[in-house]
Structure 1
Amino acid sequence: MQAKHPRGFSIIELMVVTTTIGILALLSIPSIRIAVDRTEAAATANDIRVFTEAIEFFTTIKGTYPEAMTYTRMPNEIASYLPSPWKSGQYSWFYVNTENLTYVYLYNLSFTAEQAVRLDSIIDDGNIATGNVRMAYNGSGLVYLFQYYQADRESIPEINDE
């Protein structure tokens, strides 16, 4: 009599294969999440860079920074330069120009601190406490400083040529 060869896989073999695939999937999920976070930070950094270039371009032409603006109210020279996320309200932001300070504040980014540092390293110095890109109060968003003049200039000693 001839021995029968079973067709297909046994239940043990199927369980081993399924468990192995599950373990590999669990190991790859953090790597995929890190890649997504890095991509989001890089895309936002690029969008911020485009926004700052639009402001600097306007400043070069007009000789001064624009007044306060929002995504619904901005000069045509800036609006024509910006991509749609800035004009459609996809980013929550406001721009302020005062005597001592000119900045744009982006909020509701839902960024982790790691993403904010990555974004800062792409645009600035990699430290969210210094430079042009800074973390806003309580991590609520990011601030990009265009210009910053210290209000306390009288405390700087003057040099006398005596």
Structure 2
Amino acid sequence: MTAMKTIHHYPRRGFTLLEIMVVVIIIGVMLAMAIPGFKAVRERTRVSAFLNDFRAVKEAINRYNLAEGVYPIGTGSGPPADFFEYIRADVITSTTVIGGNWSVDASSYTFAIGVDGYEVDDELLTQIDSGVDDGNLTTGNMIKTGGSQFMYIIEE
């Protein structure tokens, strides 16, 4: 009697190159759809964070003005020392969430505050303007004064 040879077929293990490529393409498409959403969320977060800091600074300036009878116009080294009784020092002295540093203009206006050296585009700056003013960087109390500086006029 002749013996019949049995051929065993074992199930293959692992993935083919084609299957891996399909998964990579699907992940790439999903990321391409998600990235603009992440960017929009990031921008809204920056706008909200800046508006919170802006309102805190503006409120501190108004409280200082009510208590002292003058606006907190400091020297080149920053605001007057007693201004820090009205606001945390890191809010004023740290770089803002949109880049740049807080600045004061008491020469063109009676008193205006703003940011000098911001690092965002005009679209984001317009969103900030919409949160406190008319949404136009050339009119209203919040204006772009040139280069990378904008001011909020508290008193003309």
TM-score, normalising length: structure 1: 0.77
Q: Please state if 1:143 is matched with 2:151.
A: yes
What SS is found at the alignment partner of 2:104?
strand
**Structure-2 change in CA distance of 1:35 and 1:42 (3 Å):** same
What SS is found at the alignment partner of 2:14?
coil
Q: Distance in 1 between matches of 2:43 and 2:103?
A: 24
Number of matched pairs: 146
Amino acid paired to 2:149: G
Q: State the match for 1:104 in structure 2.
A: 113
What SS is found at the alignment partner of 1:7?
coil
The Cα of 1:115 is off from its aligned counterpart by 0.9
Report the identity percentage. 26
1:4-153 aligned within 5 A: 4-69=10-75, 72-76=78-82, 78-83=83-88, 84-88=90-94, 91-98=100-107, 100-138=109-147, 140-148=148-156
**Structure-2 change in CA distance of 1:42 and 1:69 (3 Å):** farther
Counterpart contact for 2:94–2:101, Cα < 8 Å: no
Q: Distance in 2 between matches of 1:100 and 1:72?
A: 18
Amino acid paired to 1:72: G
Q: Distance in 1 between matches of 2:151 and 2:140?
A: 10
Higher RCO (CA < 8 A, seq sep 6+): 1
Q: State the match for 1:154 in structure 2.
A: none
Q: Which structure 2 residue ranges, 5 or more long, are not aligned? A: 1-6
What SS is found at the alignment partner of 1:136?
strand
TM-score, normalising length: structure 2: 0.79
The Cα of 1:144 is off from its aligned counterpart by 0.9
